[in-house]
Amino acid sequence: MAKLCSSSLVIIMLCCYWAASESLKYKDPKQPINIRIKDLLNRMTLAEKIGQMTQIERSVASADVMQKYFIGSILSGGGSVPAKEASPETWINMVNGFQNGSLATRLGIPMIYGIDAVHGNNNVFKATIFPHNVGLGVTRDPELIEKIGAATALEVRATGINYAFAPCIAVCRDPRWGRCFESYSEDPAIVRQMTQLIPGLQGDIPPNTRKGVPFVAGKEKVVACAKHFVGDGGTTKGINENNTVISPHGLFSIHMPAYYDSVLKGVATIMISYSSVNGAKMHADGHLITNFLKNTVKFRGFVISDWQGIDRLTDPPHANYTFSILRSVEAGLDMIMVPYNYTEFIDGLSYLVTNKFIPMSRIDDAVKRILRVKFVMGLFENPLADLTMAKHLGSHEHRELAREAVRKSLVLLKNGKTDTEPVLPLPKKSTKILVAGTHADDIGNQCGGWTIEWHGQSGNITVGTTILSAIKKTVDPKTEVVYQENPTPEFIKSNNFSYAIVVTGEYPYSETVGDNLNITIPEPGPTTITNVCGAVKCVVVLITGRPVVIEPYVSNMDGLVAAWLPGTEGQGVADVLYGDYGFTGKLARTWFKTVDQLPMNVGDPHYDPLYPFGFGITTEPVKSN
């Protein structure tokens, strides 16, 4: 009898469990997403909802923190890594450790992990680093950009991460801005073309998908993020995080169009800009975020703040955090990149909701959007990463794609002191050649900001091919290649060089650190150009995040190439210098004569550039030389 009772009890318990499982519609992938969202939302407490709206930095995260506070998302800030030169396995173990904390919560809602993969998975050692956007805009090749998006998605997934804060679709109207290298062009038409990175990262939206609904096509894709909404590239004098003074027509014809395209392509998230429009800070602009982006454009993904973006609603930042939480959440922000003081944020938002300063309907809207993205990307079905994707990090295929992107992003600005004596392509067979300049043998300088560290770093900081090593590999084995970073005129004259290549430019920077009212090449760059080009036939290869002051030196040069920030695959530069491929790039930015002309963009009445928008000398490849 006791055995019978015991058996009956087990059966009853199993029946109850099955009944409970069947009623958990949010865990059933066969249910429509809206049903899953509704079911899960109805089960959530206020604490669980606010947790979903909170994104914290990995350095303050732990499995216990995820479980205790129901945190919805983690990010790696620039240079924030689990260990120096961490392997994919180390990354994956870290991400899964945090995820296990989320899965151990009452409802088991998985977290989403974000990273600034803005030109490849650029925080990660050995990742393929693609050219920055300033170079990719030159290509005017959306298919290439989509392939780069797909490769980046694989390399991000290789480290167990599923959310990339890319693309930056700013329209940089003033190269004095320290983020201009993150912008594809001054021309909104080119920036719109380059939103093709989104289907590369996320996958192509299925036919007949409702406008504005986010889409992520499974485990080989990542959540994308169009940023920074809106007008960040138009600030006065290019000052980062500053004020964009513009008419409604200017805002909606220059800075907004790429957001329409991003939403139509199913972008899952949109990040808000630190900057202001006509004095109104974007992080508190309910008209543009809620009325326009959500209600008019019908964006159904989630809106995320920038790093401590809400803190900056007050001066000084964080002076009245409760006010900052109120204004930003009211305006329509769904997820807040806190990133450190998460208990203060959670307590503040809880107080505002409990005391009816923020309606529960606004919280529910935010959480629905976050859950929609998590369901769409299959996160509930596949919350944990494994090592199967690790093989994609820095793969040969991706490096070859990056090399192609480098070739197509180069712009030939000068080719010979006269039209009848072109200097490029260079001969592979010579007795002795000189390679000079601070950027010739430096991966970090080639890659620029947002590489391994937030601001980037000089030195061979990750795996790649420097331009010097690419030149040595490309020329005839009998050609002697002499490298001297900053040679004297006497040294040059005492050697019988056939020609010289000077590789110089800006040192790495990002964001406000890169703001520069003069935009000159730092020393010893100008001295190297003057010394070398005054003594021997020379080609100057500029490594910069924007057009720079170059007009005083051009007459001494035989050749001038804008290589922008090409990334790890310097072989792409040598491929074109030596004629294995032709120059095809056309400027996607106006090259000014003096900074006094700025801002100056194509179509302006005072347009008088050194090299106009769309300029670029083309060459044909040579079979052998």
- Which positions are annotated as active-site residues? 306, 511
Which amino acid, one-letter code, is at 507? Y
CA 245/CA 234 separation, integer angstroms: 8
Which amino acid, one-letter code, is at 36? R
**Cis-peptide into 425, omega within 30 deg:** yes
Token pair recorded at residue 5: 């009772």
Number of Cβ within 10 Å of residue 380's Cβ equals 19
CA 616/CA 411 separation, integer angstroms: 5
Per the rule left: phi > 0, alpha: psi between -120 and 50, beta: everything else, 487 is: beta
Burial of 45 (0-12, 13-18, 19+ CB in 10 A): exposed
Which amino acid, one-letter code, is at 52? Q
List 61's β-bridge partners, or say none.
none
Strand boundaries in 391-499, DSSP class E: 411-415, 432-436, 480-484
Q: In what order do the strands lie in the sheet with 243-244?
A: 243-244, 276-277, 280-281
CA 439/CA 507 separation, integer angstroms: 9
Number of Cβ within 10 Å of residue 554's Cβ equals 15
CA 341/CA 349 separation, integer angstroms: 13
Q: Decide if 157 contacts 222 (C-beta within 8 A).
A: yes
CA 383/CA 387 separation, integer angstroms: 14
Residue 213 to residues 201, 264, 299, 315, 607, Cα–Cα distance (Å): 16, 8, 7, 36, 41
- For residue 29, what are the contacts with CB-CB under 8 A and spacing of at least 6? 378, 380, 381
CA 400/CA 78 separation, integer angstroms: 26
How many residues are recorded in the chain?
625
* β 411-415/559-562 pair status: antiparallel
Burial of 533 (0-12, 13-18, 19+ CB in 10 A): buried
- For residue 12, what are the contacts with CB-CB under 8 A and spacing of at least 6? none
Could you please report the per-residue DSSP string of 314-337? SSSTTTTHHHHHHHHHHHT--BEE
Query: Can you say how many angstroms the Cα of residue 350 is from the centroid of all Cα atoms in its chain?
Result: 33
Can you state the angle between helices 360-376 and 321-331, rounded to 10 degrees? 70
CA 301/CA 115 separation, integer angstroms: 18
Per the rule left: phi > 0, alpha: psi between -120 and 50, beta: everything else, 7 is: alpha
**Cis-peptide into 167, omega within 30 deg:** yes
CA 93/CA 385 separation, integer angstroms: 8
Q: Which residue is it, tokens 């139509």? A: 264
